[in-house]
Structure 1
Amino acid sequence: MRIDLYQTSRERDAYDEQANLYSIILATEHLERAYARDAVTQKEYSHECKKLLSQFRLAERAVSSEMNTETFMTLYQMDCPRAKERLLIQGVPEPMKGGSDEASHAVTVAETVQHFITTMDAVKLEQRAVDELQPLLSDLLDALTRVPDTPNDFEPNHRIQKWLQKLNGMRAVDEIDEDDSRQLYHDLDAAYTEFTRYLKRS
């Protein structure tokens, strides 16, 4: 006996989007496990993880009108703790430390400053949608984690990570309110100030 999961093309598209999100979460879990076992190099891991994070944001946006990702994982009984940590909490690949080459360091610092400015400008221009802010904060945190020799408890990283975690718990179509927007700008400004202090000390 055949059981149809959908009756219309719209329902079929919805199931396809959910299947896509499911496969991305599963692939991320396998990648994280492989990296933990040293089965892939750091370069391979970083490349694949960035690709999965980008695909995840698109897939999450397509499914977000129905449920958030945590609800999705619970509904389909997905036991993927590493993927959940990477996709919903960290939002960036595991930091790549090392590479203290002076030119490389200068490029990374310049990129980080640019990401700070871009993100702060977006908040100042009252961009409040999750799918507008989340990629900016994710790119900023990715740049921060690539700055060499920062301590594990580097305050700017924690500030940005806190906001990413908050946004990752919301749907892509949701918006932060005015109070959150002001707090986000304050935290970005404080993180940028601490980052510039670190540069002067180093």
Structure 2
Amino acid sequence: MAQNNVGAHAQNDSSRMLASKASPSIKKELEKQLQVEDDSNRQEMESFADYYAIIRTMEKLETQYIRGTIAPDVYEKECQKLLPRFSTLKECLPSDMQNPAMAIPTFMSRYQLKAARAANRFATGVPATCSAGGGEDSSKIALFVAEAVQGFITLMDSLRLGMTAVDQVHPLTADVVNALNKIAQLPADFEPKMKVKSWLQILSAMRATEVLDEV
């Protein structure tokens, strides 16, 4: 990336020298092209800066949760804010940054960033409080079952209505996973639960603008 940026700057410098010696009409066109290139480079760098900030924030949040220095409900609320922001931001990044399972390790290696916990959370697609279950009040089991059923019905109805874009299906699938994970009585290897989780992982690895071709 650093070499690419150096090469881009060198090319821009050469273009500026050419523009300074060109005729007025050509000079104007070259200056316009340089402005577009500068804006594009600036936008890419801003996207990387935002990407870095979100990863660092998630890593800090995961560390606080593991150490017990943040309340589970506060952790879950903040985590659910970061997950969709990450999905939206990755659309502005290069193709090798699209899949969360590969994007963050690639980014960490490239910029010497340590954020293994954040990488795992973004790849999972749900907060840690919703990924294990087992700690919920059993008196709420009926409510959680109702949430799971309602979430699944909403997901199926949306697909039947033709809402097949990833950015439409992903949040509905995440809602179902969250509801199922709150049902402590369900075993970790419960097949329907594992199936919906696999759907969520597949959706998390896709671009938000992609459309499902099989429903």
Going from structure 1 to structure 2, the CA distance change for 1:149 and 1:28 (only over 3 Å counts) comes to same
Q: Is the 8 A contact 2:96 2:103 kept in 1?
A: no
> Which residue does 2:28 correspond to in 1?
none
Question: What is the 5 A alignment of 1:48-87?
Answer: 48-63=78-93, 67-70=97-100, 72-73=103-104, 74-77=106-109, 78-87=113-122
Q: Does 1:92 align with 2:122?
A: no
CA drift of 1:116 comes to 0.3
Q: Does 1:46 align with 2:76?
A: yes
Structure with the bigger RCO (C-alpha within 8 Å, sep 6+) is 1
Q: Is the 8 A contact 1:112 1:144 kept in 2?
A: yes
* 2: CA distance, partners of 1:152 / 1:167: 21
Q: Does 1:14 align with 2:44?
A: yes
Matching residue's letter, 2:138? S
CA drift of 1:10 comes to 4.2
Q: Is the 8 A contact 2:125 2:200 kept in 1?
A: yes
CA drift of 1:168 comes to 1.6
CA drift of 1:162 comes to 0.6
* 2: CA distance, partners of 1:148 / 1:80: 29
- SS of match in other structure, 2:183: coil
Query: RMSD over aligned Cα, in angstroms?
Result: 2.8
| TM-score normalised by length of structure 2 | 0.68
Deviates more, 1:68-77 or 1:3-12: 3-12
* 2: CA distance, partners of 1:128 / 1:65: 22
Structure 2 unmatched ranges of 5 or more: 1-5, 10-35
CA drift of 1:40 comes to 2.2
Deviation per CA, 1:147-186: give whole Å up to 9, x if none: 24322222222111111111222222223323xx2xxxxx
> Which residue does 2:200 correspond to in 1?
164
Larger Rg: 2
CA drift of 1:75 comes to 4.0
Percent same amino acid at aligned positions?
35
- SS of match in other structure, 1:33: helix
* 2: CA distance, partners of 1:69 / 1:160: 19
Q: Is the 8 A contact 1:65 1:171 kept in 2?
A: no
Q: Is the 8 A contact 1:130 1:174 kept in 2?
A: yes
Aligned pair count reads 174
Deviation per CA, 1:128-149: give whole Å up to 9, x if none: 3222211111111112112243
* 2: CA distance, partners of 1:75 / 1:47: 26
| TM-score normalised by length of structure 1 | 0.72
* 1: CA distance, partners of 2:91 / 2:145: 31
Deviation per CA, 1:96-129: give whole Å up to 9, x if none: 522223xx43333222222101111222234332
Q: Is the 8 A contact 2:61 2:79 kept in 1?
A: yes
CA drift of 1:14 comes to 3.2
- Select the structure that is richer in helix: 2
Deviates more, 1:52-61 or 1:20-29: 52-61
CA drift of 1:49 comes to 1.4
Deviates more, 1:132-141 or 1:64-73: 64-73
* 1: CA distance, partners of 2:183 / 2:190: 11
